Amino acid sequence: MSSTADPVPPTDDPVRFELIGQVARITLNRPETLNIVSVAVRDALIEAVLAARDHPDVRAVVLAAAGRHFSAGADLSEFGSADSVFEARRIRWDRDPWGPLWSLPHPVVVALHGYSLAAGLEMALLCDIRLAAPDTVVGLPETRLAMLPAAGGTPRLTKVIGPHGALPVVMTADNLDARTAVARGLIHRIVGPEEGTVDDAALALASRWARLDPPLLRAAKRALRAAADLPLSDGLATERRLGLGLGPGRAGAGGSGGSGGS
């Protein structure tokens, strides 16, 4: 597959943006720091996510990371550079890449490897599919540091694995290996060596998505999120509305009746 490099941001920036066919690959690019999420990384990530959102050729997105580790979390040293911990948190919330990432209309797959902790895991939880290399370690260690997860970790983790599963992950702050994370539902699957690298597998999956009808994918993503967030009756109504919006013959067998479908 041919690759067309997008000039924003350049390859030596904290985050790389590449257009590969109709897939936008966004890569955290500070391997020497374990890809910790500094303010500079946040700003570059916002720019890259918005570029993926607005590029007319993009149909799917891969979130990846250079080096041995996906991300070891936020840059806690920057807390000491602000006037107070409250000001540090305000700056972090004002420079928020999590909202744009969550709001992407395209399907997003993340390729995890090595440490995928704190903000690293919280980013992954905002993606639609989480693939992992066998060496992946995930966790939310914030409570060991007298902090709470502050990048959507508690609501997204609860949505993904339920309050029963989320409570020990947050309260004990224990790290989980890839197999345990799959068993608990944090990760969709581990990529075996026969598939190449986890980045290869993520790009292959995103490329499959990119060959599908974009309005259909966007509607499916919205319907699935509505099903998770709304009462059943509202989820059915949203599904029906989205299906009808796709046009005749594309709404599915249950598109014309109240409780039809599977």
- Cα separations (Å) of 107 from 87, 92, 153, 233, 258? 34, 26, 20, 25, 27
Residue found under tokens 């490329």: 207
Per-residue b or e along 224-248, where b marks 16 or more CB atoms closer than 10 Å to that residue's CB: eebeeeeeeeebbebbbebbeebee
Distance between CA 205 and CA 211 in Å, rounded? 10
- Whether residue 142 lies in the annotated active site: yes
Neighbours of 27 (CB within 10 A): 21
- Give Cα 209 to chain centroid, integer Å: 16
Q: Which of 78, 142, 195, 239 is catalytic?
A: 142
Judge whether 26 and 62 are in contact, CB under 8 Å. yes
Q: Which of 122, 194, 195, 239 is catalytic?
A: 122
Catalytic positions are 122, 142
